[in-house]
Structure 1
């Protein structure tokens, strides 16, 4: 079959993830393993006696190599990339996957190791996909692990991204964490994937690396190797065979803009001096220490559950205090917003999460875990309060997945008993619609736009086919943000955004215009957002907010805001 390639002058569109322009030849990423090597391994005669033990010994050796490879890359990386690679190493060693391989080997004497592995992976991919959320994203990671295991078993190099011989645009169906984390931004000028959403691992790591990125791009694999394309990570467009002089001029202007971004040193404010607090999202003491060196006024989201993903037993309040104190110490003289356990769904914590839920994304997660286990929340609040007392850093505490005013009031009472400022996450549409009443019982609100978008649009945020719905620029999502921000202004209480929407410099302008008082994001995104806000007035932000709210769809909203703020 002859592949039809898009004609020069044509353009593809996807979901914009990391702004910036990248011009270069397409380098298609292929993940196939030499079929001859696979066939030769599968055809090997294996004695029936000791067959299972021999196969599992080969499997265990391959797992050890693959997991060690992930860990080496994690040690060389940092931030989100290191976290994702460490998680992949754990997934490769998963005992449940090994048990499934063993079960498949026992099912039939004719089942070879490669078939047993493939069937086991397929079983877990189906399970993860059904669970939705970030667990669905792990299906991509698992398929990548399978390819790497097969490569070791058949004796060929692990598949992965080739090293470009010249600055190139990588185009792939999707990229695994191990591939994305190892990219060299001087060689990879842009990323384009056919699958994936704005909160996929590819998107998160690309944002950290500062590589322009567009995901969910239908027809991307139809691009021919070597054809020159111009990728616009802000508009989500891929221009095929552009005029080289015009494209080069646009790229040069983009580089100048990036230089301004790199020079921005804070604090956050509009061009006419209206302050906007820019904050960092952190996961532990190490990430907090790195974020503290950026021009941020504090932490807007300390994801405490990420400290405990590998813990089988609940740490005591004293142990928790030691962990939290590491983060608070890095931000002495500033302030830290601590989120209580957002466990459940895609972030299973052994000592907290309910097992066997049919629909965990809509189940017992976040604050709901404390309904039948109040001691879980009480001990965490005790740990947070002790850390705050010990370090002296101003500490705010917020709960995830709050749906009713009564839940907010009960949580706030427990937080204030410990002398801390209380708030809640606005992730459930009901919380946004009742924001004015929520603010009667709490001190602040923080919009988690990832989940708010997912629940508002009834679309799994990891579903590639629904990426157009899980876009935070969706009019319905923007309306809920505006309602919440208006309630904050009326009550004279802070309303922040700590989801991925805060890291979009263009959307940040509209959010500030709506009345959002703080933006919290990955540390790498702070300078681009701060530099963009410094170039626009509050009046422009308010005009941008009105234009975005009036738009018919996300693309129209982006275009309207870009026309106002540049």
Structure 2
């Protein structure tokens, strides 16, 4: 069966199927005592949260943060209150009330798009755990693994996978998801093969064994058991910490972060700096715009572990796809194409200026070497407008993200106005192919190996080389060790990724000279589909 390969390598083994959510609860019969029925919901939420907190106490880093976040979501007063009101107001059973309340929250997140839409899956996970608790059933999720296995699932929620043992999980295959889904990010972090968006994976019979090829995007299901064979993960330990090809051509290997915990994880992974600091994480829970001192302190906490090293700070990527209450932007019919990113600042320049003031202060407090870039820039004029405000704030280096096709096509003019650019491959692919990156049915179009996307990256890379200005990639494409070298061959000078992927990408870059990567890039550009591009690049390097 074919899907989208999101983490390279080939592995095989017995199948362990992740359990499906329980059936949708019926809207009846009405409870005899609605008040007593409603009173069951809060204790169930507390029980679910307690188990998640217990799991969080046994792990650290990203896994701990994911489990604690899911636990907090289970205890969300708004969700619990809404479910209780559905019981007392409409005489729904508690299970049905939780189902409807959670679905309302998930629908609102999906309609917001972008980062917020990615959280809808988390709400559904909490919903299913609460319903199982109310029914006294085993919650859906990953079974307890007693032997190395290939996990097969419809999709994986963060809490399903946060504390997976990489020695027992040989590979992942899912029917839903896409290149930027949690499953994809997790697989790259664990260094295991993964294929997502495998249509029909769960239809029909249950299979005993599977072979997963993350390079070709193929899953071979077998009726008989398959020997457990793990993919090679040795490259993770072979990197010397210097971002360069085998012949010394520099390609910085840096990390995407959004919190102090992320920053420390990136340092521990050996990242040479930060290629994307997502500042909107400081705003998402705020009812009012944080004042300058509050922002300054929050940013400094993230920057401090990188004293003396480069950090690229992205200004607020807010708007219709990340709605912030204090911006009061109303509802837009198409959030992905609405007022978001730097476009918010055109109407509210004072919000940007206050953020730039805070960033400049945080640089002084932390000792990091800060550059600032704007999201969702479409034209050279917009890039110049942003750069002027950055320099007026006393910050030395101004850049922009290339995630709108118009900016990629005008890369030379955009680079004339700024000091550097960074390509956000997730959004760029979404806009190039008119394909929502959250839609599993369109996952193939959002594959970062798509030749059309690679050709746009090549155009930006050429412009950077001609003008002598850096070109980074900070989308999930940078976390693919096989693709990292191809991106370097296209002219990319830095790769920014989830911290756990840093050692593998650094080692993959060091495996070949830059000319070999350039040949691999040319071979990939000459193909017509992502599978052919992967194979052509691999053949060129072999």
TM-score by structure 2 length? 0.93
Q: Kindly tell me the number of residue pairs found equivalent between the two proteins.
A: 541
Alpha-carbon distance between aligned partners in 2 of 1:427 and 1:75, rounded to the nearest angstrom: 38
- Matched with 1:180 is 161
Distance in structure 1 (CA, Å) of the matches to 2:52 and 2:125 = 11
Given that 1:267 and 1:296 are in contact with CA atoms closer than 8 Å, whether structure 2 keeps it comes out as: no
State the secondary structure of the residue aligned to 1:356: coil
Post-superposition shift, 1:295? 2.9
- In the alignment, the residues of structure 2 paired with residue 356 and residue 90 of structure 1 have an alpha-carbon distance, to the nearest angstrom, of 27
8, 22, 36: which is aligned to 2:11?
22
Query: Equivalent residue of 2:461, what SS?
Result: helix
In the TM superposition, what are the counterparts of 1:482-561 in structure 2 within 5 Å?
A: 482-561=458-537
**1:302 to partner: Cα distance:** 0.8
Cross-structure match for 1:317: 292
Show the counterpart of 1:235: 216
Task: Measure, in 2, the Cα distance between the counterparts of 1:90 and 1:235.
Answer: 38
- The C-alpha deviation readout for 1:333-356, integer Å capped at 9, x for no partner, is 211111111123443333346342
Match of 2:70 in 1: 88
Question: What is aligned with 1:9?
Answer: none
Q: Distance in 2 between matches of 1:534 and 1:443?
A: 27
Contact 2:112–2:322 (Cα < 8 Å) also in 1: no
| From 303, 307, 310, the counterpart of 1:332 | 307
Is 1:141 aligned with 2:159? no
* Residue 394, structure 1, aligned to residue 369, structure 2: yes
1:31 equivalent to 2:20? Answer: yes
* Contact 2:245/2:251 (<8 A) preserved: yes
Gap change, CA 1:486 and 1:32, over 3 Å in 2: closer
1:444-486 CA-to-partner distances (Å, cap 9, x unmatched) read: 0000111111111111101000001111112221111111111
Which whole-Å CA distance do the structure 1 matches of 2:523 and 2:185 have between them? 28
- Once the two structures are TM-superposed, the CA of residue 33 in structure 1 deviates from its matched residue by 4.3
Higher mean C-alpha displacement, 422-431 vs 120-129:
120-129
CA distance in 1, matches of 2:356, 2:532: 44
Whether 1:306 aligns to 2:281 is yes
CA gap of 1:82–1:470, structure 2 versus 1, over 3 A, is farther
Q: Compared with structure 1, are the counterparts of its residues 425 and 184 closer, same or farther at alpha carbon in structure 2 (3 Å cutoff)? A: same
Output the TM-score relative to the length of structure 1. 0.89
1:367 aligns with 2:342: yes
Alignment of 1:115-264 (within 5 A): 115-222=96-203, 225=206, 227-241=208-222, 251=229, 254-255=231-232, 258-264=233-239
Q: 2: CA distance between counterparts of 1:353 and 1:517?
A: 38
- For the residue of structure 1 that corresponds to 2:347, the secondary structure is coil
| TM superposition shift of 1:550 | 1.4
Other-structure match for 1:65: 47
Contact 2:7 2:192 in 1 (8 A): yes
8 Å Cα contact 1:80/1:208 also seen in 2: no
Q: Which runs of 5+ in 2 are unaligned?
A: none
TM-superposed deviation, 1:374: 1.5
Report if aligned partners of 1:42, 1:114 keep a CA contact under 8 Å in 2: no
Deviates more, 1:234-243 or 1:372-381: 234-243
Select between 318-327 and 131-140 the one with higher mean Cα deviation: 131-140
